[in-house]
């Protein structure tokens, strides 16, 4: 099937944007991911960096990628059951190996597991409106689960929110020394992540995938609606999401990122606003695509989107090299980590442009497709 260039561009934006979130997980202890006050104090420039990234990026690009993933499942339904199951099963295996051998922050396994459930729902729900409503309902259930987890949690922070000196020293040790100790810790974190996926995040992820599939089925994610519609939608959704998100950012800061309530309840505004803001970003791209399409940077970002899986894994290779092997872990603050993001972005863009000059798809995409074919799941490739 012919590629939709706008979707490649959006996918590239999502992959590059996700690094704005992941860079903190690569470069700082795990507690710093959501809590800028993880050391008990925070510099003003670090707090402002957190606030800007939280407002514009945190969860938004993950939501955008999940919407696009669901839209992709809708497009791939004609491939049939065996092809989709094989493709998603291989994605689960890629994610498991990625998490076990390289980095505990993997999302591929989550997308593969939830995708194995979501594609059947996408196939079986006949109406686009019903599919959209089901997606929204599942997402709301996930937000409700976050509230329940907050009510069940104690008021005292654990070391995943406010670690002690020994916790930080140990995390630095296993991340920079690797070996079996690192594998064992990644397995522990994988177990915790799977529990979180089942209890809360999986509902939201499934909801986003179904919503993305509904937007694709209606033609919205194909750019079939008018430019005026997309521009109007972008303005409304971005303003509404800002009105929801800003109080959450303010009250987290004002509370000093105290575990209770910042660890759960003050995360909720971001959870609610993220899909609205993600759709707003997509609408902005569709609405101004005639202006964006001729730009060289648009072509470069689209190339990143065509090789999304390869570029996601390349980010891991580069960041684990910088932080775990070069010893940069816990040496840079949030603001300086953004400089590393720019370096990795430039490598992503250059690599994608160069690779696609000679090949039709990314290296990992080629392997993924080949393995799907060998699993007997791609009848079109067997002709």
The angle, 0 to 180 degrees and rounded to 10, between the axes of the packed helices 363-374 and 81-101 is 130
343 within domain boundaries = yes
What mean pLDDT is predicted for residues 342-354? Answer: 98
Grade residue 383 by pLDDT with cuts at 50, 70 and 90.
very low
End-to-end CA distance of the chain: 16
Expressed as residue numbers, the domain containing 197 is: 5-374
What pTM value is reported for the model? 0.95
359 within domain boundaries = yes
358 within domain boundaries = yes
The pLDDT score that the predictor gives to residue 370 is: 95
The pLDDT score that the predictor gives to residue 2 is: 67
379 within domain boundaries = no
How far, in Å, CA of 122 to CA of 213, rounded? Answer: 7
pLDDT greater than 70 at residue 226: yes
Q: Among 124, 275, 120, 107, which Cα is nearest to 197's?
A: 107
The pLDDT score that the predictor gives to residue 377 is: 61
The pLDDT score that the predictor gives to residue 234 is: 98
Q: Which residues neighbour 356 within 8 Å (Cβ) at sequence distance 6 or greater?
A: 303, 306, 307, 362
Q: Among 375, 382, 381, 383, which Cα is nearest to 87's?
A: 375
- Percent of the chain topping pLDDT 90: 91
CA 201 vs. chain centroid, Å, equals 12
The pLDDT score that the predictor gives to residue 382 is: 41
278 within domain boundaries = yes
Query: Exposure string (b/e) for 119-155, b if CB count within 10 Å is 16 or more?
Result: bebbeebeebeebbebbbebbeebbebbeeebeeeee
383 within domain boundaries = no
Grade residue 48 by pLDDT with cuts at 50, 70 and 90.
very high
Grade residue 376 by pLDDT with cuts at 50, 70 and 90.
low
pLDDT greater than 50 at residue 381: no
Judge whether 58 and 270 are in contact, CB under 8 Å. yes
Work out how many domains the chain is built from and give that number. 1
Q: Which residue has tokens 């690599």?
A: 351
Grade residue 271 by pLDDT with cuts at 50, 70 and 90.
very high
380 within domain boundaries = no
Average model confidence (pLDDT) for the chain? Answer: 94
24 within domain boundaries = yes
């Amino acid at each position: 099937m012919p590629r939709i260039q706008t979707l490649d561009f959006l996918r590239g934006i999502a992959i590059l944007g996700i690094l704005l979130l992941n860079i903190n997980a690569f470069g700082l202890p795990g507690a710093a991911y959501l809590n800028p006050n993880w050391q008990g104090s925070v510099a003003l420039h670090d707090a402002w960096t957190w606030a800007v990234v939280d407002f514009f990026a945190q969860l938004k690009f993950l939501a955008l990628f999940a919407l696009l993933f669901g839209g992709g499942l809708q497009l791939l339904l004609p491939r049939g059951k065996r092809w989709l199951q094989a493709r998603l099963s291989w994605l689960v295996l890629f994610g498991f190996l990625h998490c076990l051998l390289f980095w505990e922050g993997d999302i591929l396994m989550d997308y593969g597991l939830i995708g194995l459930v979501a594609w059947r729902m996408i196939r079986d729900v006949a109406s686009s409106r019903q599919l959209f409503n089901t997606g929204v309902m599942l997402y709301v259930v996930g937000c409700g689960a976050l509230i329940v987890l907050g009510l069940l949690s104690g008021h005292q922070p654990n070391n995943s929110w406010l670690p002690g000196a020994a916790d930080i020293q140990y995390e630095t040790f296993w991340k920079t020394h690797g070996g079996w100790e690192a594998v064992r810790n990644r397995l522990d974190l994988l177990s915790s992540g799977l529990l979180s996926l089942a209890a809360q995040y999986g509902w939201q992820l499934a909801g986003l995938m179904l919503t993305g599939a509904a937007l694709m089925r209606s033609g919205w994610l194909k750019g079939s609606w008018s430019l005026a519609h997309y521009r109007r939608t972008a303005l409304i959704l971005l303003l509404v999401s800002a009105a929801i998100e800003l109080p959450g950012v303010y009250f987290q800061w004002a509370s000093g990122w105290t575990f209770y309530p910042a660890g759960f309840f003050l995360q909720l505004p971001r959870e609610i606003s993220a899909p609205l803001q993600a759709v707003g970003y997509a609408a902005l791209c569709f609405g101004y695509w005639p202006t964006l399409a001729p730009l060289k940077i648009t072509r470069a970002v689209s190339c990143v989107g065509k090789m999304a899986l390869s570029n996601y894994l390349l980010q891991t290779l580069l960041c684990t090299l910088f932080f775990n092997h070069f010893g940069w872990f816990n040496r840079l603050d949030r603001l300086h980590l953004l400089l590393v993001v720019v370096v990795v972005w430039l490598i992503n863009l250059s690599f994608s442009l160069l690779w696609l000059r000679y090949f039709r798809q990314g290296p990992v995409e080629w392997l993924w497709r080949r393995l799907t074919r060998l699993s007997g799941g791609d009848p079109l490739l067997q002709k």
